[in-house]
Amino acid sequence: MTPSVYVIAGGGTSGHVNPALAIAEAIRANEPDARIEFVGTRRGIENRLIHQAGYPFHEIRASGLPSRLSPAMFRAIRDYLAGRRQCLKLLKALRPNAVIGTGGYVCSPLVAAAARLNIPVLLHEQNAYPGRSNRMMARRSQAVCLSFADAIPYFPEKTPLYLTGNPVRSVFFEQSHEKARVEAGLTPDDRFVLALGGSLGAQSINQAILNLDTVISSLPEQHPLRRLRVILGCGAQHETAVRQAAAGYDWLEVHAYIDQIQQLMAAADLIICRAGAGACFELAALGRPAILVPYPHAAGDHQTANAASLVHAGAAVLCRDQDLTAERLMEYFNDLLTDPTKLKTMAEAASSLARPDAAAEIYQYLRQIRSD
């Protein structure tokens, strides 16, 4: 039997790329001989992450479509048309059994080309408010898998929708909090906080963490939070400024972007992060308590909607971006990091929301629509 061929696109942020990798992993688990290839842009984070994962990667032209008429809109249309031509050529050569899109502007040229060639398409939408690319391409798809039921009303009537949850790579389900703490060199007295702004960084989180130094220095020597350790993923564009500001802060470690993030997330007593769908489902997979700071300019305020299930379950607390200060963080730390029972309860609540079979479930829908 000839091995199946799948072409996958998802990019712009790691929140689109990581679900694509989880789906690829599920395909590989069920079809070890399958040929899996990715498309993306040269400048997108997908270029680095897909190459690191070891999959073939094809560069295409694509750029985000602005909401207002501007020169950038004409460039985006030009790039879309060029990218669609590239995808048509690629798909004619590869003749895939199905195409998979996980969001981001890079998906539109691929899905449009697949529809033109009558190749089955499966989309995955991570957020409670669907992205523009997935909303536009849903009519051309044979299956649309959703992380949140809140997304259902935004799709056209008769769209084949399936509620699967957000696929998370298997390594997130294989971690142990206790083992990860040992491997991170933490002592029982250390209070470890991991602060993440997503693949692009978050200035508000960066600034609140940097401003903690004055608050920490004012604590009595015997206060438990004098043993605070923080690792901050600040984003490449903020790295130089954050490193300069953090010089001499022995409690703080700064990284532009953290690869193999699951190990540090597993070790953390508490995680501060945006509320992208990927982050929310990774927190559940790892069973980690969190302070969620939704990105205030997200379309449809979808990050606040994403966070709702974790907050309502008692697995996380919600802090609005405008309210995030060092003083507010210290209030949370005093409430949570000094109360192991409360942290344990939050961790158990997070674990109860995990969807370990999401990628496998998506693969089953993929099997139903693919051409053989």
| Strand, coil or helix: 65 | coil
**Can you give the pLDDT at residue 111?**
96
Residue 59 amino acid letter: E
**Can you give the pLDDT at residue 199?**
63
CATH match of 5-168+356-369 with 2.60.220.30: no
**Can you give the pLDDT at residue 175?**
96
218-267, pLDDT tens digit by residue?
Answer: 899 889 999 999 999 998 888 999 999 999 899 999 998 888 899 999 99
Q: CATH 3.40.50.2000: which residues of the chain? A: 5-168+356-369, 171-351
DSSP 8-state symbol, 352: T
Contact indicator for 348, 314 with CB cutoff of 8 Å = no
DSSP 8-state symbol, 97: S
**Can you give the pLDDT at residue 51?**
94
Q: Which CATH architecture has domain 171-351?
A: 3-Layer(aba) Sandwich (3.40)
Q: How many other β-carbons are positioned within 10 Å of the β-carbon of residue 42?
A: 10
**Can you give the pLDDT at residue 5?**
98
User: Which parts of the chain register pLDDT below 70?
Assistant: 66-67, 199-201
Where residue 198 falls (left for φ over 0; alpha for ψ -120 to 50; beta otherwise) is: left
